[in-house]
Structure 1
Amino acid sequence: MDMQILRRLFVFAKPYIKQFYLVVFLTIALAVLVPLRPKLIQHTIDNEVAFGDYNGLVFWIVILLVLLVVQAVVQYFHTFMSGWLGQHIIKDIRVKLFRHIQNLRLKFFDNTPIGRLVTRNVSDIETLSEVFSTGIAGIIADILQLLVILGFMFALSWKLTLVSLALLPILLFATYVFKEKVKVSFNEVRTAVSNLNSFVQEHITGMSIVQIFNAEKREYAKFKEINKEHRTANIRAVFYYATYFPVAEIIQAGGIGLIIWYGAGSVIQEQLTLGVLIAFIMYIQMFFRPIRMIADRFNTLQMGIVASNRILDLMDSDEHIPDEGDYAPASIEGAVKFENVWFAYNDEDWVLKDINFEVQKGESLALVGATGAGKSSVINLLTRFYEINKGTIQIDGASIDQFKLANLRDHIAVVLQDVFLFSDTIYNNITLRNPSITLEKVKEAAELVGARSFIERLPGGFEYNVMERGATLSVGQRQLISFVRAMVYDPKIIILDEATSSVDTETEELIQEAIQKLMKGRTSIVIAHRLSTIQNADKILVLDKGEIKEEGTHDDLLELDGFYAQLHQMQYKEVATS
């Protein structure tokens, strides 16, 4: 399974194949250069120091210094190129993952905590960088270095090599146990991080609810519990590290002790030279270090595999809206038709049942009904945020799934009750960084809907930063900006979802003027609780439990003395009472 994940990850390395091969070359060079040092020291001791050859000693010291400089240069480029490769690959993965997330249907976001997605796109991908920068390259380097060291050791003395490696099986066993234990703990750590991110993101976003209902102590207690799980998972991983490395040091020290015990006797008996004994002590230190590092790198790799698995699972999710249509008209008339439309968010728990209606181009349609009647679902289906289960939805006689998705949404603008503004300038929030929309066009649209005066009074005018979610603006100001946003895209179909329900009466009058200008010459679908805002609609649909109960103009529906008339009478009494 791990190899399957690695194969999929290496697809992202293809654009940087030259740099990848360079890292491999530098890895091999390091594996050869590092073990040369003990061999040169052994040669110097046995041939120059032993015979008092001062000139020869100086010569080999210079050679050693040159070797160290070359090794340092190679080490620098190896470290830099490994990091460079890792950062470029994770940049590409992060971009691809974010693009994939952008194309997921809204149903996916309904069922997935935002904090978890943030963890995937930030923390998990950052962890993944270690796979390319230090994990795989480091493991290859360590294995090659081990093989080269073994080659030098056997060349010098096969007997002393076997003695020095007598404790190796114990180290390998300890390394395997360490790797397996840390693998489990890393899974726990990544899960804990994801849970922590989800909780923090969700509660910071909903902090007003927490404070309004005096839930600070309860949520604080819950946070402490989640944070405790995160701490426990990390401490467990730290425990394994704290246990393994002292054990590895003891085994290494035991190996050196065996070399000195056996090697010193051989030197005294003149079966070995002093240079060979010193070289072996250096080699055994070099030999055990890569084994310890391999265990650590395997865990780094394993942590990257865990993160990769999460990332690839997200990339493999098919929760995206099919975009198989090829119809992309430059302009549309704006006639909308729902024919026998059935829709359910989950299985067959129908939210809309056999919905049929038509809106001719330039007409206005109002949707009214109690909460949960299915009003918002109608606009979610028209914009293809969700897919219908049965029936057809047509624009100008063409089914909406025949349109290219981007083209379909180019012709539709939606103004929601809860206006979302990014932490950016007003200009960028209106244009959404569309380079084809000029500042002049934005100013004209703002003037038309009555928003230009208040925008230009702000510090910086259209360059004023509204902060996160538009926190520095009033509800009415955010709503007017959303109208400007809809206007500059010049849609043929405009959807207004409770666009005036959260503002005061004075602001509502201003917004109503903006709405009239926005709707002029366009097909419009309006959802409103305040019936006074839709009395002039060409057609009103009354929805109840996903079904159309009444249909007609304001006057027609009042004459029916049915559901709409009751709603109207209730609101009239509320206004009279207030």
Structure 2
Amino acid sequence: MTQSTGKRLLQYALTAKKTFIAALLLLSIGVAAELAGPFIAKSMIDNHMLAIEKPYFKTASSEEAAVYNNEYYKRADRFQPGEAKGQEIRLLQAGRSFYFINSAVDQPDGERTFRDGELHIVRGGNEVTYPAVKLSVDELFAFYKPELPGIYELVGLYALFLVISIFAEFGKTYWLQSSANQVIRKLRTDVYAHIQRLPVHFFDNLPAGKVVSRVTNDTEAIKDLFIAVLSNFSTGVINIIGVYIALFLLDVRLGLVSLFIIPALILWIVIYRKVATKYNTIIRSRLSEINAIINESIQGMSIIRIFRRQKERSEEFEKLNDDYLKYQNKMLNLNALTSHNLVNSIRSLSFVLVLWYFGFGSLDGSTFVSLGVLYAFVDVLGRMFQPITGMVNQLANLDSSMVSAGRVFTLMDEPGEAVTDGTMPRYKGNVAFKNVSFAYKKDFVLRDISFEARPGETVALVGHTGSGKSSIINLLFRFYDPQKGSITIDGQEVTSLPKQWIRNHMGIVLQDPYLFTGTIASNVSLGDERISRERVERALREVGADKLLAHLPQGFDEPVVEKGSTLSAGQRQLISFARALSFDPAILILDEATSNIDTETESIIQEALEVLKKGRTTFIIAHRLSTIRSADQILVLHRGEIVERGNHDELMALGGRYFRMYQLQVGAAAAESANPVAAGSAHQASAAGLQPAFKKM
């Protein structure tokens, strides 16, 4: 049973847990430093700016005291224990001015007005009056002067926390992105390694463009999850936790009033993801199909142009592209409807609740809070909506990343071939098929195949298309295993040996050899450290490649582009021969190795083949029967069965299917070259005589 996508992503995240933990630790420090700001502002307002309305007492000491009319006055909370206190006085604000009251004030809260030298305070229908003197700006500043050191200290503390938050933000961003890059590197490496282990038949049903899309586009989307999404959600969660701690520290009632935000946010995320996942699944699928059609069009560009299919291919591409745009627009509408609208609605609702609760409550005094607390609360609550906005804006990336991760893990859940370390000694190459039957799906493509190829022998497989020639080679390489019968190499069942060990001593030359980007030399050695430069050059010379490659400016170091498109078919074929020779395989497979070669180059290729086959068990798949006359054993296949076997002379003497195939290919050509005048009538007679043979074949 496969694990959930979230758990598997967490396992990958744990591979870089040290940097992730460091990033989250710095994030917490940064959040704490930022949230210190409102508390500093609250202290500045309540303990300094508005604190001059607290009781003052006359004192003989000038320390932390204000001077008014040549008398010293100190705030009540600044007296040391046991320090003598004189007459109590108060400073109260009415309108935009402050007034000096030379007596204690029992109830300073209420509506204040000043007229006729008296300060009137009205609260709940009761009015109290006190003799008061209006303070000038200089006199008022004298009372603020003792507050300045404390204000400067708080400003310095705020600056310190600001610097801490800046460095914490830098460290958090750097380590978070660094750890995300590490995770994605490992994920891509694992995906690519798993692709290397997937059985060959997996790629028969999945276009290369779709595989590439999963390795590149989908893993890049997962990178966004670890960088943007994780950063915003981690910041958001830690910020929200910090904000609620701050709210409850400021006032428990304020914190309780604001708790509704969390369930509203969680509910919205759940609803959003249900809709967005459906859209994102289609979007990622369409992007994969677009990559596949682009890859296919590039590979087959010459065919598309020759048959003038540009318009049809463009229409097919536009259909996919339009469908991709359609669902992108649906996601855009969903995001536009939810992101800022959601945050603004919650923000407005929270402020309405706060103002309603504390505004109406302050009228009867049941929920009174200080101005500093209210300011800090509004500031802290406002700070919470910035990370919430970031979280909501990342919901689209979150869902897209999770869908992409699901696609990547689906690919990684495909059963792969077991990888076994080590190797086995080079076997002699005695290959035996015993009553082998095989089907790719339901219908058998090989039926009761039995033959033996002794070490050093050359076995040719001939037959019409679909007769089973390539299937025999696929079984030999263990790309597939037969449903019936057994295959042995040197008497050992191939199914009992690791696939990598068997293939380690096999080589193949394809009809259309594949060359990788690099140089001619690197395409021979394929980067194998066991193959020296001297061995590479010797292999190229032995197959005669130096004759066709001598004119190249950089010789064997000539750059090779993808598929070797700048080289001729003969040059590519000789390089593939040298590749097979340099690996010194015990079993060699030649798959139509000379079918695409011109007559002039074929003589060089034939010489190279003789060098290549020496001392190896060789299997040749051939349609040009003239190239296999020297084979030790020729197996004629028809509809998955061996219908004839023997060497060339034996099969020609038999006069069966091989004879007719050979006559069709070689006899008519020989007749034409020998007697051009009679060639026309002879060809007609030959063709008429071969019609029944074609029907039998």
Please report the TM-score for the alignment, with normalisation by the length of structure 1.
0.93
Asked if residue 28 in structure 1 is aligned to residue 28 in structure 2, the reply is yes
Give the CA deviation at 1:162: 5.4
Structure-2 change in CA distance of 1:495 and 1:47 (3 Å): same
Q: Deviation string for 1:477-511 (max 9, x for gaps)?
A: 11111001001001121110100111111111111
**Residues 142-157 of structure 1 mapped to structure 2, 5 A cutoff:** 142-157=236-251
**Correspondence for 1:39:** 39
**Correspondence for 2:427:** 332
Q: Any conservation in 2 of the 1:542–1:564 contact (CA below 8 Å)?
A: yes
Q: Following the alignment from structure 2 to structure 1, what is the Cα–Cα distance between the partners of residues 544 and 329? A: 59
Identity of aligned residues (%): 36
**Correspondence for 1:551:** 645
Give the CA deviation at 1:304: 2.4
The one-letter code sitting in structure 2 at the alignment partner of 1:188 is I
Q: Deviation string for 1:357-392 (max 9, x for gaps)?
A: 111111111111101111111111111122222111
Greater CA drift, 146-155 or 296-305: 296-305
**Correspondence for 2:529:** 435
Give the CA deviation at 1:87: 1.0
**Correspondence for 2:439:** 344
Q: Secondary structure at the match of 1:459?
A: coil
Give the CA deviation at 1:177: 3.6
Greater CA drift, 500-509 or 33-42: 33-42
Q: Secondary structure at the match of 1:385?
A: coil
**Correspondence for 2:113:** none
Q: Deviation string for 1:284-303 (max 9, x for gaps)?
A: 22222333333344543333
Asked if residue 275 in structure 1 is aligned to residue 372 in structure 2, the reply is yes
**Residues 329-408 of structure 1 mapped to structure 2, 5 A cutoff:** 329-347=424-442, 349-408=443-502
**Correspondence for 2:311:** 217
Q: Secondary structure at the match of 1:427?
A: helix
**Correspondence for 1:424:** 518
Number of aligned residue pairs: give it: 575
**Correspondence for 1:54:** 148
Give the CA deviation at 1:164: 5.8
**Residues 405-484 of structure 1 mapped to structure 2, 5 A cutoff:** 405-484=499-578
**Correspondence for 2:104:** none
Aligned partner (choices 379, 394, 402) of residue 305 of structure 1: 402
Tell me which protein shows more helix as a share of its residues.
1
Give the CA deviation at 1:324: 7.1
Please, which runs of 5 or more residues in structure 2 have no aligned partner? 53-143, 674-697
Q: Any conservation in 2 of the 1:528–1:534 contact (CA below 8 Å)?
A: yes
Q: Following the alignment from structure 2 to structure 1, what is the Cα–Cα distance between the partners of residues 355 and 2? A: 41
**Correspondence for 1:184:** 278
Q: Following the alignment from structure 1 to structure 2, what is the Cα–Cα distance between the partners of residues 235 and 69? A: 42
Structure-2 change in CA distance of 1:547 and 1:285 (3 Å): same
**Higher Cα Rg, which structure:** 2
**Correspondence for 1:84:** 178
Give the CA deviation at 1:137: 5.3
Give the CA deviation at 1:281: 2.3
Give the CA deviation at 1:29: 2.4
Greater RCO structure (CA 8 Å; 6+ sep)? 1
The one-letter code sitting in structure 1 at the alignment partner of 2:206 is T
Q: Following the alignment from structure 1 to structure 2, what is the Cα–Cα distance between the partners of residues 533 and 230? A: 52
Greater CA drift, 221-230 or 456-465: 456-465
Q: Deviation string for 1:108-129 (max 9, x for gaps)?
A: 1101121111111111111222
Structure-2 change in CA distance of 1:174 and 1:310 (3 Å): closer
Q: Following the alignment from structure 1 to structure 2, what is the Cα–Cα distance between the partners of residues 55 and 400? A: 88
**Correspondence for 2:133:** none
Q: Deviation string for 1:298-326 (max 9, x for gaps)?
A: 543333222222122211111x3456799
Q: Any conservation in 2 of the 1:260–1:277 contact (CA below 8 Å)?
A: no
Aligned partner (choices 600, 610, 634) of residue 540 of structure 1: 634
Q: Following the alignment from structure 2 to structure 1, what is the Cα–Cα distance between the partners of residues 557 and 281? A: 45
Q: Secondary structure at the match of 1:19?
A: helix
Q: Any conservation in 2 of the 1:98–1:121 contact (CA below 8 Å)?
A: yes
Aligned partner (choices 166, 189, 194) of residue 288 of structure 2: 194
Q: Following the alignment from structure 2 to structure 1, what is the Cα–Cα distance between the partners of residues 236 and 473? A: 59
Q: Secondary structure at the match of 1:509?
A: helix
Please report the TM-score for the alignment, with normalisation by the length of structure 2.
0.78
Q: Secondary structure at the match of 2:204?
A: helix
Q: Any conservation in 2 of the 1:35–1:283 contact (CA below 8 Å)?
A: yes
Structure-2 change in CA distance of 1:269 and 1:38 (3 Å): farther
Q: Following the alignment from structure 1 to structure 2, what is the Cα–Cα distance between the partners of residues 125 and 168? A: 31
Greater CA drift, 238-247 or 433-442: 238-247
**Correspondence for 1:120:** 214
Structure-2 change in CA distance of 1:175 and 1:108 (3 Å): closer
Q: Following the alignment from structure 2 to structure 1, what is the Cα–Cα distance between the partners of residues 204 and 664? A: 33
Tell me which protein shows more strand as a share of its residues.
2
Q: Following the alignment from structure 1 to structure 2, what is the Cα–Cα distance between the partners of residues 496 and 161? A: 79
Please, which runs of 5 or more residues in structure 1 have no aligned partner? none
Q: Deviation string for 1:196-222 (max 9, x for gaps)?
A: 112211221122221222111011001
Greater CA drift, 487-496 or 132-141: 132-141
